[in-house]
Structure 1
Amino acid sequence: MRRRCGLRNPRRERATARFFGRHAGCHAAHRAAGADGTIARFLFCAVLGLSQSRVEKRPQRRLRFLNQAWLEYTGRTHEQELGNGWLDGMHPDDRPRWSDSFTKAFAARRPFEIEFRLRRANGAYGSMICVGRPYHDMRANFCGYLCSCYDNTVRRDMEIALKESEQRYEGMTANVPGMVFQLVRDSSKKLSFAYVNRGSQTLTGVAETALLTDADAFFSLVPEDERSHLFATLDASADHLANWTWSGRLRNPHEPSEKWINIRAQPRRTDHATLWDGLVFDDTQSRLAQLEIERSREELRSLSRYLQTVREEEKARIAREVHDELGSTLTALRMDLDWLGEQLPQELSSLHQKRSAMVKLVESAVAATRKIVTDLRPSILDDLGLAAALRWQASEHQKHTGVQVIVETPDPDIPIERDVALTLFRIFQETLTNVARHAKATNVAVELEAADSAYVLQVRDNGIGMSPVDISKPESHGIRGIRERAQQLGGNLSVASQPDRGTTIVVSIPTSTKPAARAAGPVAAVTASRSR
């Protein structure tokens, strides 16, 4: 007997029901297993079976079968959904697109896949993906479509939430005054950017797409003499999983002057790569301000050096004047007193006593003059050098205070520039003065040595020591004066002291003390904090 797709065939309908019943059972299993939402919910239905009106002889596209899962999803009855009733649950905005896609597929008898919104039993719309495959009867006549639909709501909601999150993130990073990036280094140490924000072009002058295509488009903007240092800090960050910090110059191809940039990034490691999430920001204004401060400080140091030089020259001039004028006058007076003593008769004892008192006064004035001249400008420093001057000053201090001072200097004596020698000598004098006034020490150890690039003077006493507060308080004029003298020649001072444990002062002055404007070069550090 000849069968037609459009005629009712109870046997075939029972077979179809058994077929979809088995799938409905699978759906129930899927639903039970995926109660936590990890497995998509499948809805199996037979839709759009081909029927033929006996009156009009025209094919009708109507839904002829659907399973229980569909009914539970929509909350409607089988009778309500059959035919074109199921279209009532489709979102009105999606119906034209469904009609257009399905009509084209139906005319070509080809499979189709379309996503639409379907009203749930609670009235809310869920996202449904429908996949249709043509089916034929035993004579290969096209009879309609078998369709399987599954609920894509959770995934669609996640995609929407992700898109909104990306839009928010992109909106925030677009306004960041710098370059937000994710840098990837694979197992072969090849670098690539997985992400850069739109604001990166403002900083680098290179398009976002160019940076994503080739990471060298960014790294080539760093001057070649600083690039090796940049990669060295990157390697150190990768080896220790420590924060990547680098500061240096960058050349924007569209700007006439260089920029100063600062890189801050945190690394993390995956199975086959190391990733850095970080920020590159423009540090030009801050660096220019820093350079201006450094220039101003250098000018102050130069002025201080000049004033110190003028002061020392004035001391030397006064010492010469006192030595030449007052010294010669006192010498002549002593000679006159000696002559007078020879001329006075012996019986004038009172006059002889007066002359002897005057001789003592002249000798005292000569000694005072010699001390003043020595304090103003110790001639031993110019004649015999710094080592001899330190030993002489230590001997004088020990003679007046009783404090034992031991001086160790290189053997043979090292030649030291005049300005450096004078500065170290004045620092030594100030240190001994502080020991005498405050330390209550009985022993002082002094060591002078010449390192590779600096002269180092160390003075250590066994006195009562100082607390950190005493070292840094504004009234510590002695320490401040020592520090200023050292800084005038590019040196530095360190003070180590504890109460009742003595004090150690270390002064270091570079061997080359020519003043020069110091440009801040690249600075980098790998912080000790670990990436988590």
Structure 2
Amino acid sequence: MAAKTAALYVVISAAWILYSDTVITWIAHDVESLRFLSSVKGLFFVVVTGLLLLLHLRRSFSAISDADYRADNARLESAGAREALRVSEDRWKLVVGNIRDYAVYLLDALGRVASWNEGARRIFGFAPEEIIGQPFDILFTKAACDDGVPRAELRKALETGEAESESTRIRKDGSQVITRTITSALHASDGTLRGYVEIVQDITERRRALDALKESEARYRYLFEANPQPMWVYRGSDLRFLAVNSAAVAHYGYTTKEFLNMTVLDIRPPEDRARFRESLEKQNDSVLRNVGLLCHRTKDGKIIDVHITANAMFFGGEPAQLVLVKDVTEQLQAERNLKHSHAQLLALTNALQQSMEEERSRIAREIHDDLGQRYAALNMDLALLARHIGHVTDPAMRATALQDISTSRKLLDEVVESTRKIIRDLRPEVLDSLGLVSGIAWQAAETERRHGIRCATDLPAFELPADPRVSTAIFRIAQEALMNVVRHSGATEVRISLSQVNGSFRLEVGDNGRGMKPEDREKLNSFGLLGMRERAFALGGTFEIHSSPGSGTRLVVSVPMTTSQEQS
């Protein structure tokens, strides 16, 4: 700028010097005029030159001031930028450097690690000084590097601005880690690639948990589909079927598509739906519920009995119920048939026992009435014969005959006593004449007299009114229990008690014998125990045995004091 101004000034000055005098000469006509015009010319040149110099100086100073201002601003801006950059870097290091759950690091344009935070050290195991400056390919498996995976990620980030991927990376110790990575390309303001930033999350445990969940779901899906029992899932809000297995399709006759357009109410008889809704309202929040027995209806209208087990769950994010169904129609029918057969058997047993008691009574009466009279006649004949022998003159013959008659009378007395015993065993007379309490007391006394086993009794002080069939059954059970003590227990003492509890007779027979093993109670040849149990059950009673080896045996029987006609 200064050179241009000087050149212009030289040109103008030269032109002024060359042509100003010629012009003045043309104008001036005398010497005075010439002198005046020359003075004016010189003054004008000085003024113009001064003005030009002033203008040039002002422009120069202005330019210098502008340059200084711009320089100062540039220096200030540069210092501010550096300070801002420093603050930004400090913030980056403070925020990113302390992140532990994510690896955040910078790569240069060539893919070399430029920064390394605490999260990256925790996930990959490398310290910053060990990896900064290294190609980030070091974090990939050899197979991935051979396939060009690392560079492919950078190319994708460069082309699209950001790339997201899940891959297996390598730690410092050689172990593998499953990661989710976001790679972003970084550009300068002029568009120049400056490098990349990668944010890496360790999803190893999440992936393992997800894989385990998928495996579990597949396993339970298999158990659901392959279960031989019908199963389904229904939504809790509207009771609509959400899934059914093949066993449900086969058992109920509906197709899967038909099931999914139905609710669980549709497979219930109309009269059972209200009860089902009530059970739903009363159900608690427990995960597993034993719903119990319900009635279902198949597609062909058949009513079946089912046992339901329900399990609360979420299906598709909604509260639902997983249901396992067991068809117990045949089982219940078999149980009903068994109960009917058992009832018939008890009725038959009761009838047989009653018939046996009646037959025993009849035989005892006939023996008593017939043989008793015959025994009396024989005894009278023997007495008469003894009187006639007294007239025999031969002393030896008379003595012999009298001895034979005496022996015959003793034998006849033994036969009579034996007959009486048989009659008592067939039907104790005391039971009919005095009652149950006296009958048990008599039987205890007989057992002690015959077998030498001490029998302690705890009986009511007076007779208790009872149905004849009940008193006979109680007496026979007590009689059989005492015989078992004699035959099997090896006891020296037995305790017998009879009481009235809540409208029932309670009989207890306990001994101090060798006791019984649990398996001995169920032996098929234990006819004594079986007979006592059947007598009690036939009258609607209970039968219990408490025993262990070396601790004796205690038998407890409870029988209602009266029986209905149906039990007879």
TM-score w.r.t. structure 2 length?
0.55
Whether 1:75 and 2:125 are equivalent positions in the alignment is no
2:203 corresponding residue in structure 1:
154
Kindly provide the CA deviation profile for residues 7-38 of structure 1, in whole angstroms up to 9, marking residues without a partner as x.
xx9x98997798478536643432xxx3xxxx
From 476, 485, 508, give the equivalent of 2:558.
508
2:391 corresponding residue in structure 1:
347
Matched residue type, 1:495: H
Kindly provide the CA deviation profile for residues 121-146 of structure 1, in whole angstroms up to 9, marking residues without a partner as x.
8999953347999x999xxxx999x9
Q: CA 1:468–1:119 in structure 2 vs 1: closer, same or farther (change >3 Å)?
A: closer
Larger helix percent? 2
Larger strand percent? 1
Q: CA 1:253–1:478 in structure 2 vs 1: closer, same or farther (change >3 Å)?
A: closer
Secondary structure at 1:257 match in 2: strand
1:383 corresponding residue in structure 2:
433
2:326 corresponding residue in structure 1:
282
Q: Matches of 1:251 and 1:461 in 2, distance apart?
A: 51
Q: Per chain length, whose mean CA-contact separation is higher, i.e. which structure has more relative contact order (CA < 8 Å, sep 6+)?
A: 1
Whether 1:89 and 2:142 are equivalent positions in the alignment is no
2:293 corresponding residue in structure 1:
249
Whether 1:466 and 2:515 are equivalent positions in the alignment is yes
1:259 corresponding residue in structure 2:
306
CA contact (8 A) 2:494 2:510 kept: yes
CA contact (8 A) 2:113 2:134 kept: no
Q: CA 1:248–1:330 in structure 2 vs 1: closer, same or farther (change >3 Å)?
A: farther
CA contact (8 A) 1:45 1:147 kept: yes
1:428 corresponding residue in structure 2:
478
1:523 corresponding residue in structure 2:
none
Q: CA 1:281–1:89 in structure 2 vs 1: closer, same or farther (change >3 Å)?
A: same
Give the Å deviation of 1:286.
5.8
Q: CA 1:396–1:162 in structure 2 vs 1: closer, same or farther (change >3 Å)?
A: closer
Matched residue type, 1:167: E
Whether 1:29 and 2:98 are equivalent positions in the alignment is yes
From 487, 491, 494, give the equivalent of 2:545.
494
Whether 1:393 and 2:456 are equivalent positions in the alignment is no
CA contact (8 A) 2:232 2:245 kept: no
What percentage of residue pairs aligned between the two structures are identical? 25
Matched residue type, 1:465: R
Q: CA 1:20–1:381 in structure 2 vs 1: closer, same or farther (change >3 Å)?
A: same
Kindly provide the CA deviation profile for residues 177-232 of structure 1, in whole angstroms up to 9, marking residues without a partner as x.
569999xxxxxxx99x9xx98559949999899999xxxxxxx989689969x97x
Matched residue type, 1:42: V
Give the Å deviation of 1:172.
3.6
Q: CA 1:211–1:224 in structure 2 vs 1: closer, same or farther (change >3 Å)?
A: closer
Q: Matches of 2:107 and 2:262 in 1, distance apart?
A: 49
Q: Matches of 1:371 and 1:296 in 2, distance apart?
A: 38
Q: Matches of 1:246 and 1:163 in 2, distance apart?
A: 27
Matched residue type, 2:544: L
Q: Structure 1: any 5+ residue segments left out of the alignment? A: 2-8, 48-62, 77-84, 107-112, 183-189, 213-219, 266-276, 518-532
Give the Å deviation of 1:256.
1.6
From 360, 363, 371, give the equivalent of 2:421.
371
Matched residue type, 2:292: G
CA contact (8 A) 2:504 2:560 kept: yes
Secondary structure at 2:391 match in 1: coil
CA contact (8 A) 2:467 2:563 kept: no
Give the Å deviation of 1:389.
0.8
Secondary structure at 1:416 match in 2: coil
**In angstroms, what is the RMSD of aligned CA positions?**
6.1
CA contact (8 A) 1:73 1:121 kept: no
TM-score w.r.t. structure 1 length?
0.58
Q: Matches of 1:492 and 1:226 in 2, distance apart?
A: 40
Give the Å deviation of 1:375.
0.9
Give the Å deviation of 1:428.
1.6
CA contact (8 A) 2:111 2:135 kept: no
CA contact (8 A) 1:118 1:127 kept: yes
Q: Structure 2: any 5+ residue segments left out of the alignment? A: 1-69, 71-77, 121-132, 139-147, 253-257, 265-271, 313-320, 393-397
How many residue pairs match? The answer is 423
Q: Matches of 2:447 and 2:507 in 1, distance apart?
A: 18
